[in-house]
Amino acid sequence: MAQVDVEYRDTYAGHVTEQRVGDTVRIAGWVGRRRDHGAIIFIDLRDASGIVQAVIDPASIPDARSLKLEYVVSLRGVVRARPDGTENPDMVTGMVEVAVDELTVLSAAETLPFMLDDRVDVDERTRLEYRYLDLRSPRMAANLRARSAAFRAMREVLDGLGFMDVDTPTLIRSTPEGARDVLVPSRLRKGSFYALPQSPQLFKQLLMVSGVDRYYQIARCYRDEDFRSDRQLEFIQLDLEGAFWGREGVFQTLEAVIGAVVERVRGVPVQTPFRRFTYADVMERYGTDKPDLRFGMEIHDISDLVADSAFGVFASTVAAGGAVKGINSGNVGLSRSALDALTDRARELGAKGLISLAVEETGLRSAVAKFLSDEEQTHIVQAFDAHPGDLILLVADDSKKASVVLGQLRLELGQPRDHEALAFLWVIDFPVFDVNDDGSLSPAHHPFTAPVDVNEMRTSPETAISRSYDLVLNGSELGSGSVRIHDPVVQEQVFDILGIGQEEAERRFGWFVKGLRFGTPPHAGFAVGIDRLLAILQGERSIREVIPFPKTQTGVDPMSGSPTPVDDDQLRELGIALRPEVKAEG
């Protein structure tokens, strides 16, 4: 803890242990609990370090009678051992109490809108309205500490590796990619706008052009998305870039950074290097590009085993170029109705149906068992390494569809509820393009991502591979990165192949590509979503729990009431006006 200020205290509450018995201490903090026994009053005095019990005789200190919950006080007293039988071995300070001889009330407190107790369920809007009280709760205070500790761990590792912390501008040129830019009207150049950065991407690449060797920044970024998912209008990412660098350097560095963060926040070591999977591999085995590897239940393709099956669905699916795949969901003991619900869920996810095979000592029990030969049944059981009691779920469909549906069922059946285990992995060899459901292609990454081969990108766009990579933890994408294009000619070709016309490319990115023309080192980088990482490490479902002052899903801060209307004079200065339809609403 920090130095203490003698005006109010000379020690922290959490430091008043047996070693201090006999000492006179001065401490300051909040009145946590308060018990008035008439002739004696006990209070739990809480500060940022912990809690200590103080004992006050109201006969000599009448002010003690007026103390209420969350009053802020400074008190002086002698540390003494608690009477036999009243010790609390669960508390660091549980063997002692402070016999108060002087008390100063520094601040009163109104009745709180909710108790600071973790167990009481308060709706989130109320918690956000009184965020300063919410943050006093042990859970939220621990989240704040974890966040600060994570920042520190990241910086210590990167500083130690010779990275430079460079702050890039946040009022930049609007070059929207993916999400909408957050726009900022300029007063000095009316009618023009800055954008808040979606990431420092172009600036960090230009830092490489500038001769910076290794860059990092805990960067504030902005995306004006619809708030359906667990996103915020502003968020922070650990942003990295290096010159004369490639994927292996990025991986080593991030493994060191993440390892240090987990060690600091969780107190446990992380196994490195992280496992690596190609995109093709994870899609095949887990039906998703961000698999949760805390559990197995891999997808297996048994098309070969059932291509000639007497069960027509299998045979015809395989004959038509589809696949029969499945997972062994283990000994889940689903009821008939639970199985029906699972089938409905598979249909909801887009599958034509779901075939379940219960593995018994004597063979498979299933509506389709009678169509499967003994040999087929044996092969299927072997393919899934299944044992009596296990439940095998099969989907016969388009190969990708089957994987995606099974991947989702896998999560719903197998994903642990807690966040105790941490399963990190790298996904590499992403395709350049995502294939949409209608067969059209859309760029899978931002246009500065280097392709493995720009010619392949043009001639075989469906199968071309890019030099990008993702970091995944427990089924969440923590971040992504890539080797960048450092050749301005290749960059222009890639714009063209991605469908960004020459004029558009010049307008949006011309200033950046110009920078590549004066000697650009090969470079690579990454960005880690810090909010998501912390939420997982702290076992929180929403990133809002680990952000000091988040906004609601509609971008509102219930505490300050922002955003708010502003004076028309202010808008006039900016050269803008509200549209008539908006005015009418207001």
Which residues from 174-213 bind a copy of itself, rule CB under 8 A? 174, 180-196, 202-203, 206-207, 209-213
With CB under 8 A as the contact rule, the residue among 165, 434, 462, 496 that binds a copy of itself is 165
Measure CA 265 to chain center: 15
- Asked whether position 418 contacts a copy of itself by CB under 8 A, the answer is no
Which residues from 14-43 bind a copy of itself, rule CB under 8 A? 28-31
CB of 555 to a copy of itself, least distance (A): 5
Report the alpha-carbon distance of residue 29 to residue 52 in Å, rounded. Answer: 10
Report the alpha-carbon distance of residue 457 to residue 464 in Å, rounded. Answer: 5
CB of 301 to a copy of itself, least distance (A): 36
Stretch that binds a copy of itself, among 260-268, 276-284, 430-438, 566-574 (CB under 8 A): 566-574
Is the CB of 517 or the CB of 541 nearer to a copy of itself?
517
Is the CB of 237 or the CB of 309 nearer to a copy of itself?
237
With CB under 8 A as the contact rule, the residue among 55, 91, 233, 334 that binds a copy of itself is 233
Question: Which are the contacts of 160, defined by CB distance < 8 A and separation ≥ 6?
Answer: none
Which residues from 305-334 bind a copy of itself, rule CB under 8 A? none
Measure CA 204 to chain center: 23
CB of 134 to a copy of itself, least distance (A): 8
- Asked whether position 269 contacts a copy of itself by CB under 8 A, the answer is no
- Strand blocks (E) in 244-341: 275-278, 300-301, 323-328
- Asked whether position 521 contacts a copy of itself by CB under 8 A, the answer is yes
Which residues from 370-409 bind a copy of itself, rule CB under 8 A? none
With CB under 8 A as the contact rule, the residue among 36, 124, 224, 263 that binds a copy of itself is 224
| φ and ψ of 379, to 5 deg | -65, -40
**b/e for 168-200, b at 16 or more Cβ within 10 A?**
bebebebbebeeebbebeeeeeeeebbbbbbbb
For residue 31, the surrounding DSSP H or E stretch is strand 24-36
Size of the residue set binding a copy of itself (CB under 8 A): 142
Burial status of residue 219 (CB atoms within 10 A of its CB: 0-12, 13-18, 19 or more): buried
CB of 152 to a copy of itself, least distance (A): 5
Which residues from 425-484 bind a copy of itself, rule CB under 8 A? none
CB of 74 to a copy of itself, least distance (A): 7
With CB under 8 A as the contact rule, the residue among 15, 20, 147, 532 that binds a copy of itself is 147
Is the CB of 351 or the CB of 535 nearer to a copy of itself?
535
Three-state DSSP string of 360-375: ECCEEECCCHHHCCHH
275-278 and 234-243 strand pairing: unpaired
- Asked whether position 273 contacts a copy of itself by CB under 8 A, the answer is no
Report the alpha-carbon distance of residue 275 to residue 81 in Å, rounded. Answer: 53
- Asked whether position 272 contacts a copy of itself by CB under 8 A, the answer is no
Map residue 47 onto helix, strand or coil.
strand
The answer to whether 392 and 365 have CB atoms below 8 angstroms apart is no
CB of 1 to a copy of itself, least distance (A): 4
With CB under 8 A as the contact rule, the residue among 350, 363, 475, 515 that binds a copy of itself is 515
- Asked whether position 569 contacts a copy of itself by CB under 8 A, the answer is no
CB of 263 to a copy of itself, least distance (A): 16
Stretch that binds a copy of itself, among 152-160, 377-385, 425-433, 459-467 (CB under 8 A): 152-160
Is the CB of 38 or the CB of 519 nearer to a copy of itself?
519
433-435 and 441-443 strand pairing: antiparallel
Is the CB of 68 or the CB of 347 nearer to a copy of itself?
68
Map residue 286 onto helix, strand or coil.
helix
User: Helix 502-515 and helix 201-209: axis angle, to 10°?
Assistant: 40
CB of 193 to a copy of itself, least distance (A): 5
List C-alpha distances in Å: 11 to 73, 77, 272.
Answer: 14, 12, 41
For residue 117, the surrounding DSSP H or E stretch is none
